[in-house]
Amino acid sequence: MQRHPNQLKGSLYWIAASAVGLLILNYLVATDALDWYYAGVLSTAGIYIILTTSLNLINGITGQLSIGHAGFMAVGAYTAALLSVHYDTPFVVNILAAFATAAVAGLVIGLPTLRLKGDYLAIATLGFGEIIRVVIQNLKVTRGAFGIVGITWVDNLFYTEIVVLLSVVIIWRIVNSATGRALIAIREDETAAETMGINTTLYKVMAFAIGSAFAGVAGALYAHRMTYISPNDFTFLKSVDILVMLVLGGLGSITGAVVSAFSLTLLPEFLRFIDEWRMVIYPLLLVVVMLFRPQGLFGTKEIDFGALGAAFRWLKSRFGGAVGSAPQRTVETASPSSGMQTEVQTSSLQPAGVQPDLSGQPGSAAVAPAEPSSRPFLEVNGLSIYYGGLKAVSDFNMSLPEGALHGLIGPNGAGKTTVFNMLTGLHPPSEGEIRFRRKRIDRLPPYRISSEGVARTFQNIRLFKDLTVLDNVKTAFHMNVGYGFGASLVRPPSYGVKERRVTSEAERLLEILGLQERRMELARNLPYGEQRRLEIARALATRPRLLLLDEPAAGMNPQETASLMELIRWIRDEFALTILLIEHDMSLVMRLCERITVLDYGVTIFEGTPDEVKRNPRVIEAYLGQEAN
């Protein structure tokens, strides 16, 4: 079995070492063999683990740049402190209240700020983090700069461990689910994510609110440990400390965030024997690590907890007399209803039998090959779009019957890709309307249009390049995974069944496109032609009814182009699709398409069959040209 490129080598040893270390620490604390001061340092390390992993959900997983995390820690800390001092509420109630109030603060701040990107978002979150601190400093209820004293003291390392463990497990489960794949897709390419049915605004705000909520939990732990808090505990420098821990561990790695937070909290204590020099050596070590390991200590590597299951299965087969009882992985086969043979000759594109089905209903009926009909499937009327004073597309009209294979051609800059962008909601048209299956879609956002059954590829390939080939396709099943956010946290038995079905269908699509042997490679490492095929596989995973292919043969040699032509025909018939194709290879277009629309300077100059297009004087003059005598 191929190893996932983000799987940390020796995961079983990491898990075993961590478990043994925790047991030893708890034994030392329980027997009072560990000094109370160092037990407190360990509690502080736990607080920073929560802060770093929660910020990782925002910065590392979702790819948003937030540097005001201390502000949400302050919200949680003051919530717990006020409840403890004025109402003497239990510790657990204070933790939950801190979670809720920080989540609301994250939601309120995230909704306006997450429209920004990059440096602008960083500045906005920094500003809001400071605003929170200043507001707290000027409220009577928080006692302003004097702070709050008399908070119930809770410095039990065991309690801290439970809260830390729950926080990390919840974040880990979010990341390693369909929700996590959606967040990572936003980080990799937000435009591509939205055209696959992912509501990017919703998921960004959700990640921001959840990350903020756990920062509030860390704040509550901090307040109950210190028994006194003031606004000076939550300055910008606190946010910087958390960000440094995250970057040092590796953006996107939960394992790295945990190890980095733990190490950097304990490191100054281990350097105390050199007195004031420790504050010089400590930052110097950080600089050296970032110079020689700019991606962080762990990069995007994660401990693979599947190693535990493999170890248990090995022990069972070795000592339990149950050799062969472990479930076998069926990579080469698709869903039982597909009727595929075990070994598929991908080069000859053997039929898979049915459209991928994730409904969970056994024995789903096969989808009959599409037959072009006269009933309009896609209707485009009077479509125009303006960019300032430039009219990129003018009065574009098109009517496609169901099952059609239609071409859209024209010289560079004619507006072909702009038409695709309007059809998929990336660029709302200035005039006109688009009806798909009789429903108007021209004012819908891209993720809604995708859910209606419209999928596309891009002229400039937009893969999730730092994800594996398999994960690219699994991410595109987002609308059809069959479970929600709650199931990704609770993990009922049906969750595993549905995840395995997603993996099976994704591998089947890769098999059809001839990419099965590459499934564990990063998408960026594929040759250009295979990246094109992966984009098609990813589009098919959304289970479309209309497929828009933007120059799929670009960069391919004649043999690859000929195979692609047969593949497109087969996909149209096998998956009952209607296909609209942009292509500059006229040999492919003329042999493949049933009808062709020709654009020039944003205006339709002709529509007809390939033979009619080849003979039309306006098309010859504007695009095809005449052969030299």
Single-letter residue type at 98: A
Please check the confidence at residue 537 and state whether its pLDDT lies above 70.
yes
For 15-46, the DSSP string reads HHHHHHHHHHHHHHHHTT-S-HHHHHHHHHHH
Residues of the chain above pLDDT 70, percent: 87
Q: For the segment 473-487, what is each residue's pLDDT rounded down to a tens digit?
A: 999 999 999 999 999
Cβ neighbours for 83, distance < 8 A, ≥ 6 positions apart = 89, 93, 94, 97
Structural domains in the chain? 35-235 (no CATH), 376-453+544-624 (3.40.50.300)
Residue 265 backbone class (left: φ over 0; alpha: ψ -120 to 50; beta: rest): alpha
Asked if residue 302 lies in contact with residue 253, where contact means CB atoms within 8 angstroms, the answer is: yes
Pairing of strands 595-600, 405-409: parallel
The mean-pLDDT minimum among 351-365, 431-445, 452-466, 575-589 falls in: 351-365
Please check the confidence at residue 336 and state whether its pLDDT lies above 50.
no
Cβ neighbours for 508, distance < 8 A, ≥ 6 positions apart = 334, 335, 338, 340, 352, 356
The mean-pLDDT minimum among 268-272, 516-520, 527-531, 604-608 falls in: 268-272
The mean-pLDDT minimum among 113-122, 361-370, 499-508, 594-603 falls in: 361-370
Q: Both tokens of residue 394?
A: 């003018």
Compute the radius of gyration of the chain from its Cα atoms.
Answer: 28
Please check the confidence at residue 493 and state whether its pLDDT lies above 70.
yes
The CA distance from 350 to 516, in Å, is 14
Residue with tokens 């991606």: 295
Q: For the segment 556-592, what is each residue's pLDDT rounded down to a tens digit?
A: 888 889 999 999 999 999 999 999 999 999 999 999 9
The angle subtended at Cα 312 by Cα 308 and Cα 316, nearest 5°, is 170
Please check the confidence at residue 315 and state whether its pLDDT lies above 50.
yes
Asked if residue 149 lies in contact with residue 84, where contact means CB atoms within 8 angstroms, the answer is: no
Q: In 3D, which of 359, 361, 334 has the Cα closest to residue 483?
A: 359
SS3 235: coil
**Residue 337: other Cβ atoms inside 10 A:** 15
Please check the confidence at residue 355 and state whether its pLDDT lies above 80.
no
Element (H, E) at 432: strand 431-436
User: pTM here?
Assistant: 0.88
The CA distance from 514 to 38, in Å, is 57
What pLDDT was estimated at residue 306? 66
What pLDDT was estimated at residue 310? 64
Q: For the segment 456-476, what is each residue's pLDDT rounded down to a tens digit?
A: 999 999 999 999 999 999 999
Please check the confidence at residue 337 and state whether its pLDDT lies above 50.
no
